[in-house]
Structure 1
Amino acid sequence: MPFSAPTDFLHITSLDDMPSELKGGVVAIGNFDGVHRGHQAVLNTALETGSTLDAPVYAMSFEPHPRSFFNPANPVFRLTPSAQKASVLAACGLNGIVELPFTKEFASIEADHFVEDILLSKMGIRHAVTGYDFHFGKARAGTPDFLRQAGQTHDFGVTIVAQETDEGTETISSSRIRDCLKAGEITLANALLGYRWFFESKVQHGDKRGRDLGYPTANLQLAENCPLKHGVYAVRVVLDDGTVCDGVASYGRRPMFDNGAPLFEVFLFDFTGDLYGRTLKVHVVSHLRGEETFDSVEALIAQMNRDSDEARAILASLHPLSALDHTLFPQSLG
């Protein structure tokens, strides 16, 4: 079964279903793809405000991603699809998410109507928190300054959170993290996220070639537009029954064999059992090397043995990247 947020986390997809538990609350508004450290600054500000006001705190987001809506031929790769985003937001301590359908009609709502009809009439907010670059409403007319003025006019609080940078003073953004995945810089991507990036996928049947090599793998399909660099990775995997396994994975086209469609093939250490049809949650920890071809199957197996040893060593010495990582990422196999 798919992984999800805790049952007390509210995942609302229609304003007609706006629960009383969230009304009068503090809303953090944004796309929040990846829920990275920049987003977390917005969420933490909302949580602090909610604590001061003794009010519920939730996120407001949109599906599909507005950039994908306006350019469907080139959809944005989602670092955290809807269910995964909800699970990260729940781990951050929020009470829920209001995830509104981003449609042509929604995109045409005037900024003042967005405030009056949605934030106030339907959601009954007491306070709104957004990032410095968030815009809303038709033609993106709802600027941070517009929201501040609307708060003064309608008597609700507004906090605009400044740009968040990393230790090198570069801006933390979802686009930058996607670029890191494309370059195989998974350690940097995880540092910018503040937790180990993960995805969920159902195990599908393959050609069983890994079994013949002594490395039976669980074959997983990533999104077609996933930019992750082809290569070999150390991973920690959560099975759908809660079992945690370490492993090594190869993502690519298998140039020594069929050079086919990209697959993420995971070999789980010290595991026996049937995984076909089960959903795995894969935390990608470290990039070991790029995809290669070898002179012989024997040379390939020898390299796979070295990859496994390196992955085991990396996974045995991990420490949490943050409190959020401690919550999301299994810290041991126990």
Structure 2
Amino acid sequence: MSPATLIPLDAVPASFRGAVLAIGNFDGMHRGHHALFEAARQHADRLGVPALMLTFEPHPRTVLRPQEPFFRLTPLTAKARLAGAFGLAGVVVANFDAAFSQMSAEAFVADILVQRLGISAVVVGHDFLFGHDRLGSPAYLEQEGPRHGFAVHVVGAVTDAFGAPFSATAIRGSLEIGDIAGANRDLGYRWFVTGTVQHGDKRGRELGYPTANVRLPADCGLALGIYAVTLTRADGTVLAAVASYGKRPTFDNGAVLLEVHVFDFAGDLYGEEVAVTFFAYLRGEERFASIEALIEQMDRDSLAARAILASAGEGSGLDRRIAATMVARTLPIS
């Protein structure tokens, strides 16, 4: 299974015209979004056309409220992997800037949906709003779709067992307190991050715990601490690991870094694009009085992580499909 192709809005191939299009920010691509992707794929299969996703980059929140920190759950590369796992052929990326934010709902429909994409159908959530001052709505699309020759499918609210709608905000809150189980439950898959393995200070090697170091975006709000994880290599190999996300208070208390110790591995990962998937939060970050005390705790953390990963299994069908979509096929995003 391949990732969906990332496609700039201004460079959509002719082969993707006439697609069924799911639209949204889709940060998290959580269980509330899954119904939209499934609906888009089903309608596309029935019509014999591609199923695509239209999303916005950067996230509109960072443009409209730049002064407020914003913890993004799924950057573009992650969206491509997830979209591929849902059977979508491509992720169309609209450059969201100040000018785009002023586009009217009428122009969005006429210019983007009709002229640039030539869609056959659109799939949106019941609460989807778009256009300047958010004047566009599902009702507006249902009004305009027949006039422009495309069908409109509106997906109702998707809720958890307690009747609460799934929410990216709630998932961020779970990750910020280390509630990996809660976040993964609402996502419908195990949360993962991607990045390039870089050289560090080699201190982990001296401690008997060499690490693959990945610097995550500054906006990452994940709780500092120790996690049971897997590391997926560019060739799809999945390796069991334990990870520290933090500032290394026993040493330099420096910049936040994700340091992944892969069990029973002696290869070279430098420069490799990897995915790190989170299974469980083990403990918060601590400052130890001695190196010996730190190593003893690292030994305990490793045993705990091994036990968790050994009993976790492969996860859901979606988890297995995601694992097969490591490297995104990308057209340049300007």
Both proteins in one fold, TM over 0.5: yes
Counterpart of 1:245 (choices 239, 242, 249) is 239
Deviation (angstroms), 1:56 = 1.7
Residues 159-168 or 318-327, more deviating: 318-327
- In the alignment, residue 309 of structure 1 is paired with which amino acid? L
1:259 aligned to 2:253? yes
Size of the aligned set, in residue pairs, is: 324
Q: Which amino acid aligns with 1:173?
A: S
Match of residue 9 from structure 2: 14
Residue 261 (structure 1) shift: 1.2
**Are 2:52 and 1:46 equivalent residues in the alignment?**
no
Partner of 2:154: 160
Deviation at 1:162, TM superposition (A): 1.3
Letter matched to residue 62 of structure 1? F
Structure 1 partner of 2:210: 216
Question: What root-mean-square deviation, in Å, do the aligned CA atoms of Structure 1 and Structure 2 show?
Answer: 1.7
Structure 2 vs 1, CA of residues 119 and 113 (structure 1 numbering), >3 Å: closer, same or farther?
Answer: same
User: In the TM superposition, what are the counterparts of 1:27-106 in structure 2 within 5 Å?
Assistant: 27-106=21-100
User: Which of 304, 309, 328 is the aligned partner of 2:298?
Assistant: 304
Trace 1:122-271 onto structure 2 (pairs within 5 A).
Answer: 122-271=116-265
Q: Deviations over 1:25-47 (max 9, x none)?
A: 21101111121111111111111
Per the TM alignment, residue 320 of structure 1 is displaced from its structure 2 partner at its CA by: 4.3
Does the Cα contact within 8 Å between 1:196 and 1:329 map onto a contact in 2? Answer: no
**Offset at 1:104?**
2.1
Q: Which runs of 4+ in 1 moved over 3 A?
A: none
State the 1:321 CA deviation: 4.0
Q: CA deviation at 1:273?
A: 2.3
Structure 2: how far apart are the matches of 1:39 and 1:241?
28
Q: Which letter maps to 2:177?
A: A
Q: Find the residue that maps to 1:207 and give its secondary structure.
A: coil
Counterparts of 1:263 and 1:257, CA distance in 2? 13
Amino acid at match of 1:10: T
Q: 1:321 to 1:37 in 2, by over 3 A?
A: farther
2:108 paired residue number: 114
State how far apart, in whole Å, the 2-side matches of 1:146 and 1:304 are: 57
Gaps of 5+ in 1: none
CA distance in 1, matches of 2:84, 2:234: 19
Distance in structure 2 (CA, Å) of the matches to 1:123 and 1:274: 43
Higher alpha-carbon deviation: 291-300 or 31-40: 291-300
**What is the TM-score normalised by the length of structure 2?**
0.92
Find the residue that maps to 1:151 and give its secondary structure. helix
- 8 Å CA contact retained: 2:236, 2:323: no
| Distance in structure 2 (CA, Å) of the matches to 1:279 and 1:117 | 36
1:268-287 alignment runs, 5 A limit: 268-287=262-281
3-state DSSP class of the match of 1:281? Answer: strand
307-316 or 159-168: bigger deviation: 159-168
